[in-house]
Amino acid sequence: MRILFLGDIVGRTGRDAVVAALPELRRVLRADLVVVNAENASHGFGLSPDMAKALFEAGADVLTLGNHSWDRKEIIPYIADSKRLVRPLNYPPGTPGSGTALVELADGRRALVLQAMGRLYMDPLDCPFRLTAQELSRHRLGQTVQAVVLDFHAEATSEKMAYGHSFDGQASLIVGTHTHCPTADHQILPGGTAYQSDAGMCGDYDSVIGMTKTAAIPRFWTKMPGERLQPADGPATICGVFVTTDDATGLATSVHPVRTGGRLSQLLPV
């Protein structure tokens, strides 16, 4: 299976860039499955239903969220009915939506997409490790599902690495989101799982993690709230990870970072 994962979309510039580029990216990479983190797509905070629909129409198979899942209240009834919009698995029981999506491709192959949220410097949710293990116990990689993608939405690189090694061999791809900076540690772990600590963001990198510099920088100088944070609106770099897998095992055979457009150095798998 050929899997494209795109990191956090930030604001209009990131959203418009992904909507415009995704059909061609999907064609060029011959992607079978496309997963996009969209928790910052609506003005930098949350996701609205109309923007979710636009991303699905552009070619996303699954959208994941994160700690900004509920910033747009109108997403609550939408996520309750959507099987392809995934919020962190470790929210309390009774939270709307689901932490997993089971996608069936046109050729009958199936992929499980799961999101969990870290707890180090984040909200004190239930244990992401234990709940991920419980969910993975219901599936058999290479048998009941041909691919498993885990989006770990977390702040600390140490927690992301611990999560990756914990589930090595049980997933096709484990990728971090949330910090908006693409890491240079893409690799296939010893057990056969593709891993990258953070996919980066789809947004303007002439910014502070996607937000305008004039609003963000004074907060660090003065420790006061100051001007309201707004997404930067310059040209966006689309960042993500592209993985190919062996359908017989579900494990990765290659992993490549994706960076196209905007300010960052360009990387696109041949």
Q: At 219, phi and psi to the nearest 5?
A: -60, -35
Beta strand spans in 130-249 (E): 147-153, 173-177, 187-188, 194-196, 201-202, 238-245
Could you tell me the two tokens for 32?
């079978």
| DSSP 3-state of 88 | coil
68 among known catalytic residues: yes
- What's the distance, CA 61 to chain centroid? 12
- Strand 252-260 and strand 85-86: the pairing is unpaired
Within 13 Å, how many C-alpha atoms sit on residue 4's CB side? 25
Catalytic residue, from 43, 68, 180, 186: name it.
68
- Give the active site residues: 68
